[in-house]
Chains A and B, each alone.
Chain A
Amino acid sequence: QSVLTQPPSVSGAPGQRVTISCTGSSSNIGGGYDVHWYQQLPGTAPKLLIFDNSNRPSGVPDRFSGSKSGTSASLAISGLQAEDEADYYCQSFDSSLSGSVFGGGTKLTVL
């Protein structure tokens, strides 16, 4: 069981909007630690998608957005495209474990 909980899968049609949740606890997200998101395409290394809850690195389309509230965070992807089909992971720091933690990952299927 991952410290951060994500839905195993989400899906949407091209052009639609989907959201992926990431639920933690008071020792990580709720404790004020920032949430970061990664995209991993099949057979490739993870890529930073969102940092510090809602910031996009240069080169990441503004179709991707993030938010955080309380012990949870969300990644939203609007205007879905076929190339968005990938695994998405949230990540934060956990003070009880004294280390980084990832969510279990969410597989996005573009119908």
Chain B
Amino acid sequence: EVQLVESGGGLVQPGGSLRLSCAVSGFTFSSYAMSWVRLAPGKGLEWVSGISGGGGITYYAGPVKGRLTISRDNSKNTLYLQMNSLRAEDTAVYYCAKDVGGSYLYYFDYWGQGTLVTVSS
């Protein structure tokens, strides 16, 4: 059974940092690209970042470039999102999602339950 479990969310002050993790099981992690997608209060889904199965290719949405860094440890079956210089507009539930592709981004067939990040003073 495929499982994706996010952790690391919480309350952080503007300008602060946070690292999200997504532990996966039930599939060969290194064979698939992964992404982070967020849902801000009152808004729609927003793709944030993606990474190829091998970790060598990364993708970022414009609003987060230079502040958020995606990475993965295939030996630990874990996906990460390092979030720096956080802003109020980064407040959202962050989902990790498994892609059906290996190197490129296609679509997401499995999702985690999400972890809430709140940026507020």
Contact = CB atoms under 8 A, between A and B. Distances in A.
Interface string B107-121: 111011110000000
Interface in B64-118: 95, 97, 100, 104-109, 111-114
Chain B contact surface mostly: strand
B61 A99 contact: yes
A111 interface: no
Contacts of B61: 97, 99
Interface stretch (A14-22, A39-47, A76-84): A39-47
Given A51-B107, A97-B61, A99-B60, A45 B114 contact: yes
A68 interface: no
Contacts of A57: 109
B21 interface: no
Interface in A9-32: none
Contacts of A91: 45, 47, 107-108
Contacts of A100: 35, 47, 50, 59, 105
Given A45-B114, A97-B62, A100-B35, A89 B109 contact: no
Interface of A: 2, 34, 36, 38, 40, 45-48, 51-52, 57, 87, 89, 91, 93, 97-105
